[in-house]
Structure 1
Amino acid sequence: MSDEQAVEVSLSDAEPVATVTSPTPQSPGPSIDIAVAAMISPKETLITYRDLLDYISRKTGTPTNLVQRETYAEINNLIRQGDVEMAFVCTGAYVEGKRSFDMELLVAPQMYGETYYYSYIIVPANSSAEDLDDLRGKSFAFTDPLSNSGRLAPTYMLAQMGESPESLFSGYSYTYSHDKSIEAVSEKVVDGAAVDSLIWNYFDWKYPDITAGTKVIVKSPPYGIPPVVVPAGLDASLKDQLRDVLLHMHEDEEGRRILAEIKITRFVEVDDSIYDSVREMTEAVGRQ
């Protein structure tokens, strides 16, 4: 898909994209740098993940740093170069990272009893649109060029209709976070958007006044859930330690509380094959 017609949309003043150190280190020495892809905006990411990283710091006895970047590609580059020890990434970014530099799957969150999620096509609550074809000649927001739910899946839906973003929409934009896409639709900045079902559901629970301005008109088939990954060359003992902390987090009261706040039941090991349907879509759509 050509991105020449794509523009970026901003709903607020620029938010800082930074590295934040855990305030509760327990021992001197190296820190654990943990990247979180901008599936939600930097401010919301900090709110959401602060307690989780503090928990990892306490369990490992090592300070943790939250590392954020604006795009999924920038996070992938950090993993490629070994500049972070662990990362929470989008499914599409994982598939691309696995293909291009052997990004390694560590664990995945189980949410709402599943290790799958969906792409939602959303429109303003009072829109008459009932499917993608009803958005012909309208404006649309994607999330990130590497996003599965926010770019690849809807582009694949269009291809099945014999359409493309250029042929169906009057114009499209990238918001670079799913919450900004939800807000763009709620505030009628755009006529439609493709978003991660997990994030829309989370916002519907936490910020119902925002999602009340939207409605879901299309739900995709299930895709493998956005995973937790590590660089291929990460020290084996650290990799095992991080995996162990996450896999057993639901077994203590503090861990369950933190997980409940971000709607995760537990972390589990999953097979890479759950992402094969995304690979098939990538091959079908192709990337330019």
Structure 2
Amino acid sequence: MAAAALALGSLAAVAQTTVLRVSAIPDEAPTELQRKFKPLGDYLKQETGLDVQFTPVTDYAAVVEGLASNKIDLAWLGGFTYVQARIRTNGGVVPIVQRAEDEKFTSKFIVPVASPAKTLADLKGANFAFGAPSSTSGHLMPRFFLQQAGIKPDADFKTVAFSGAHDATVAFVASGRADGGVLNASVWDKLVEAGNPNAAKVRVLATTPPYFDYNWTVRPGLDAALRKKLTDAFLKLDPSKPGMKEIMDLQRASKFVPTTSANYDGIESAAKSAGLIK
């Protein structure tokens, strides 16, 4: 029995050194997340020599728990999810890179094209849709900025719904399930560029001030050499180089830049101010 246990332990150790387990917060449809990751996954396999396995999850909390329980090595997180992971692991997770765009991220408040609303204050008494409860750009920061503008979502909106994802919020507003909603600017721009039929039925009412958002984060205890190899791989990505443009286009990134945990202190403060964490 002891020998069998030792053998299983050895197999697990081998798996950990030959496989890179990757996941991402489910802020868009699962099929879209898979499509976006495939070329990046192939690139990371080439750069690290590891078998890269992408595992989709059903909710934001699952990514946090995956990092904390050593079931995920690398994850694409929103700023708020990173803060939750930082708290959950007592500062053990390490953010390694973010897109240059994530240093000045924004969210878009949207309404139906025919809506009479001209300002955010005009949405008082309306049915409103956020994205996922743990979304930085689809809930936390918009809620924070609404409160800064004197609008208390739970008191001033008739109803508050959570669509679950940015593209779903657009569908909510386009179909009349909500009178207004909010999503991140990157997904909004992508839907408009793609001629999405739901995006054609809504318009932007307001844009938030900028804030830090998404990053790639590694689990506590990940080998330092592998962490450096992953960081260097991201930093080398250049849309002007053959083979890299598709990766960067799908990631909606002009370049990746180093990031630090301190960049997300403001997100944690906003979450406390909004009452989303203690």
Given the two structures, how large is their TM-score scaled by the length of structure 1?
A: 0.83
Amino acid in the other structure paired with 2:100:
Q
- 2:98 corresponds, among 108, 111, 117, to 108
Summarize the Cα distance change of 1:254–1:282 in structure 2 as closer, same or farther, 3 Å threshold.
Answer: same
Over 3 Å counting, the alpha-carbon distance change for 1:268 and 1:60 in structure 2 is same
Q: Which amino acid aligns with 1:195?
A: L
Matched, 1:48 2:36: yes
Q: 1:244 aligned to 2:236?
A: no
1:183 aligns with 2:171: yes
Residues 103-131 of structure 1, C-alpha deviations (whole Å, 9 max, x = no match): 211100123xx632112111112211122
Q: Please list the CA deviations of residues 64-86 of structure 1 after superposition, one character each: whole Å capped at 9, or x if unmatched.
A: 11111122111111111121110
The code of the aligned residue for 1:285 comes to: A
Instruction: Please give the alpha-carbon distance, in whole angstroms, between the structure 2 residues aligned to 1:50 and 1:173.
Output: 32
Write the mapping of 1:1-288 to structure 2, written as runs, cut at 5 A.
Answer: 30-101=18-89, 102=91, 103-111=93-101, 115-250=103-238, 252-287=241-276
CA drift of 1:223 comes to 0.7
Give the TM-score normalised by structure 2: 0.86
Moved more, 229-238 or 131-140: 131-140
Q: Which amino acid aligns with 1:204?
A: V
Instruction: Please give the alpha-carbon distance, in whole angstroms, between the structure 2 residues aligned to 1:37 and 1:287.
Output: 18
In structure 2, how many angstroms separate the alpha carbons of the residues matched to 1:206 and 1:76?
A: 31
| Structure 2: distance between partners of 1:220 and 1:70 | 27
Structure having the higher Rg: 2
Q: Name the SS for the 1:217 alignment partner.
A: strand
| More off after superposition, 151-160 vs 80-89 | 151-160
Query: Residue type of the partner of 2:190?
Result: Y
What is the CA distance between 1:230 and its match in structure 2? 0.6
Q: Determine the C-alpha separation between the residues in 1 that align with 2:62 and 2:33.
A: 16
Superposed CA RMSD in Å reads 2.0
Over the matched positions of the two proteins, sequence identity in percent amounts to 24
Q: Please give the per-residue CA displacement for 1:230-267, whole angstroms capped at 9, x wherever unaligned.
A: 11211112111111111112174112332123321121
Task: Report the Cα distance in structure 1 between the residues aligned to 2:235 and 2:145, rounded to whole angstroms.
Answer: 35
- Tell me if the contact between 1:34 and 1:66 (Cα under 8 Å) persists in the aligned partners: yes
> Larger % of helix: which?
2
State whether residues 34 and 64 of structure 1, in contact with CA within 8 Å, keep that contact through their aligned partners in structure 2. yes
Q: Which runs of 5+ in 2 are unaligned?
A: 1-16
| CA deviation after TM superposition for structure 1 residue 162, in Å | 4.2
CA contact (8 A) 1:109 1:225 kept: no
DSSP 3-state at the match of 2:252: coil
Separation in 1 of the partners of 2:144 and 2:254? Answer: 30
Give the Cα–Cα distance (whole angstroms) in 1 for the partners of residues 146 and 131 of structure 2: 16
AA in 2 matched with 1:116: K
The 8 Å contact of residues 143 and 150 in structure 1, kept in 2 or not, is answered as yes
Query: What amino acid does structure 2 have at the position aligned with 1:107?
Result: V
Q: State whether residues 57 and 63 of structure 1, in contact with CA within 8 Å, keep that contact through their aligned partners in structure 2.
A: yes
The answer (yes or no) to whether the contact 1:152–1:282 under 8 Å persists in 2 is yes
Contact persistence 1:204–1:210 (CA under 8 A): no
Q: Which runs of 5 or more residues in structure 1 are unaligned?
A: 1-28
What whole-Å deviation, never above 9, does each CA across 1:49-71 have from its counterpart, x for those lacking one? 21111221222222211111122
Does the residue aligned with 1:58 lie in a helix, a strand or coil? helix
Aligned CA distance change for structure 1 residues 192 and 51 (closer, same or farther; 3 Å)? same
Output the CA distance in 2 between the equivalents of 1:252 and 1:234. 30
The answer to whether the Cα contact below 8 Å between 1:68 and 1:75 also exists between their aligned partners in 2 is: no
